[in-house]
Amino acid sequence: MQLNKILFLSFSFIVFTAEAQDLGALCVLDGSIEESSGLIFLDGRTVTHNDSGGGAILFEVDQQTCDVTRQVAIANATNRDWEDIEQDGTYIYIGDIGNNNGNRKDLKIYRISISDYLDGNDSATAEVIEFSYEDQTDFTSANMNTNFDAEALIAYEGFLYIFTKNWIDGRTHIYRLPKDPGTHSAVRIDEFNSEGLVTGATYNSTSDRVILVGYSGISPFLTQLSGFSNGIFSNGSIIRTDLDVPAGISVQIEAVAFENGTRHLLTSESNFLGDAGMMDISLSTLSVEDVSNLETLIYPNPAREKLWIAVDPPLKRVEIYDYNGRFLLEKKVNSDSVSWDDLPKGNYLRRVSYESGETVRTLIRASTWDVRD
């Protein structure tokens, strides 16, 4: 993690890194959808689409064989760079939001009535939501060198949210815009250090979690956001875990969808590293609550001379950084407390490692360490 790239916002957020998780192999995707870039589970159907260069078509896929069982052409829509798909029980939303060069002025989200889609026909008609980013003023083309690319879209509590794919700094910015057709300005409301390129998202309404997928280099990851409020997704718990992809399947994870409270489906795009594939994962083994509870046993906050620890198993070490990401000190933990008496009053970044071998990175808008003799 590049600590010098962390931007501390006016609210608190915590990022935990959990142990790597194996993905279950379902099947190799049909050749017609080897650039699968978005995924939803709707009325018992697994629905995907291709990204740039593909037609304006949604594909239904058999989870056992990855055969395409139905194609639905989307009228009043063009696939310039479809990167994600989401649904809210009333509408399907397709994000034509890919922007590798950072120069697009025709970003769109297509809205399709679910009842129209499910009527059995081979076509459905889209309404168009046009938008631009409120803070983008420079549209100079810069291939893979922009923070205005995006591949992740969710629908949550009356709004659409876009998670950007920041090529420059490896973070993700979060923009909000209305669900209604028309021309809108996407408002930047949040951000956090995703430690990689975010390529897909889903809001699991059953578990009340946002799931992000992406990759850093050739290492895919999945991030869970939970305990958030008011659409500020970084103000709760954030758990990031590396993913182990089945042999022969591309590590370029591009899409995620929830099937129920725990089971999630993922697809990857074909490339020189492997075939496009469909995989699954159960998130019940990724315990947000358990890891969060560990953090609550490090107290108090704010602290004075000492920070007390009540964790079993114990911590291994605690590292302290300033707001610029500059390393200040490291404390090896072999007791029930850590002394901060060599630090002046101020706000800090605390990084914690646990005995289990998991590294827990805690990003906090730190409270004041009120040091006294």
* SS3 of the chain: CCHHHCCCCCCCCEEEEEEEEECEEEEECCHHHCCEEEEEEECCEEEEEECCCCCCEEEEECCCCCCEEEEEEEECCCCCCCCEEEECCCEEEEEECCCCCCCCCCCEEEEEEHHHHCCCCCEEEEEEEEEEECCCCCCCCCCCCCCCCEEEEEEECCEEEEEECCCCCCCEEEEEEECCCEEEEEEEEEEECCCCEEEEEEEECCCCEEEEEEEECCEEEEEEEECCECCEHHHCEEEEEEEECCCCECCCEEEEEECCCCEEEEEECCECCEECEEEEEEHHHCCHHHHHHHHHCEECCCCCCEEEECCCCCEEEEEEECCCCCEEEEEECCCCEEECCCCCCCCCEEEEEECCCCEEEECCCCCCCCCCC
CA distance 5 to 323: 10
- For residues 126 and 112, give the distance between their C-alpha atoms in angstroms, rounded to a whole number: 5
0.85 surpassed by pTM: no
CATH number for the domain spanning 229: value is: 2.120.10.30
Q: State the pLDDT at residue 322.
A: 58
Q: What pLDDT score was predicted for residue 18?
A: 58
pLDDT of 365 reads 34
| Strand pairing category for 159-164 and 172-178 | antiparallel
Output the average pLDDT for the chain.
Answer: 83
Per-residue pLDDT tens for 244-292? Answer: 999 999 999 999 999 998 899 999 999 988 999 999 999 864 444 444 4
In a domain, 288, yes or no: no
> Which of 239 and 342 is assigned the larger pLDDT?
239
Find the mean pLDDT for residues 200-224: 93
Are 67 and 177 contained in the same domain? yes
pLDDT confidence bin for 45, thresholds 50/70/90? very high
For 333, the domain range is 297-362
The answer on pLDDT for 360 being more than 50 is no
Q: Quick one: 215 and 68 in the same domain?
A: yes
84 shares its domain with 195: yes
**Residue at 2 is within a domain:** no
Structural tokens at position 156: 């949550």
Is the predicted pLDDT of residue 146 greater than 80, yes or no? yes
Mean pLDDT within 27-38: 96
CB of 311 within 8 A of CB of 294? yes
292-327 tens-digit pLDDT = 444 445 566 566 667 676 655 556 677 766 545 567
5 or 138: which carries more pLDDT confidence?
138
Domain termination residue (choose one: 236, 259, 282) = 282
The answer to whether position 334 is within a domain reads: yes
Residues 140 and 207 in one domain: yes
Q: How confident is the model at residue 10 (pLDDT cuts 50, 70, 90)?
A: very low
Residues 244 and 332 reside in one and the same domain? no
The amino acid at residue 330 is E
Statement: residue 353 has pLDDT above 50: yes
Position 369 in a domain: no
**Overall average pLDDT of the 345-362 stretch:** 54
Please give the Cα distance from 293 to 204 (Å, whole number).
22
Q: What is the pLDDT of residue 354?
A: 59
With bands split at pLDDT 50, 70 and 90, how would you rate the model's confidence at 218? confident
Q: List the Cα angle 187/224/94 in 5-degree steps.
A: 50
Residue 330 above 80 pLDDT?
A: no
- Whether residue 1 is contained in a domain is answered as no
38 with 173, same domain: the answer is yes
Residue 94 pLDDT grade (very low, low, confident, very high; cuts 50, 70, 90): very high
The answer, yes or no, to whether residue 214 has pLDDT greater than 60, is: yes
**Is the same domain home to 251 and 355?**
no
Give me the long-range contacts of 329-333 (CB less than 8 A, separation at least 24): 333/309
Q: Quick one: 255 and 318 in the same domain?
A: no
* Domain-located, residue 15: no
One domain for residues 136 and 232 = yes
Give dist(CA 94, CA 195) in Å, integer: 25
Between 15 and 69, the more confident residue is 69
Q: What is the pLDDT of residue 28?
A: 97
Q: Could you count the other beta carbons within 10 Å of the beta carbon of residue 331?
A: 16
Identify whether 7 is part of a domain.
Answer: no
Please say if the pLDDT value at position 340 is more than 80: no
Out of 5-19, 48-62, 110-124, 154-168, pick the least confident.
5-19
- How large is the average pLDDT for residues 18-34? 88
- One domain, residues 214 and 307: no
Evaluate if residue 359 carries a pLDDT over 50.
no
Q: Which residues pair with 256 in a beta bridge?
A: 266
Q: What angle do CA 161, 19, 167 make, to 5 degrees?
A: 40
Neighbouring C-alpha atoms within 13 Å toward the C-beta of 175:
26
- Report how far residue 152's alpha carbon sits from residue 150's, in angstroms, rounded to the nearest whole number: 6
Answer whether residue 9 is part of any domain. no
Q: Count of domains in the chain?
A: 2
204 and 152 assigned to the same domain: yes
Task: Tell me the average pLDDT across 99-118.
Answer: 98
166 and 238 together in one domain = yes
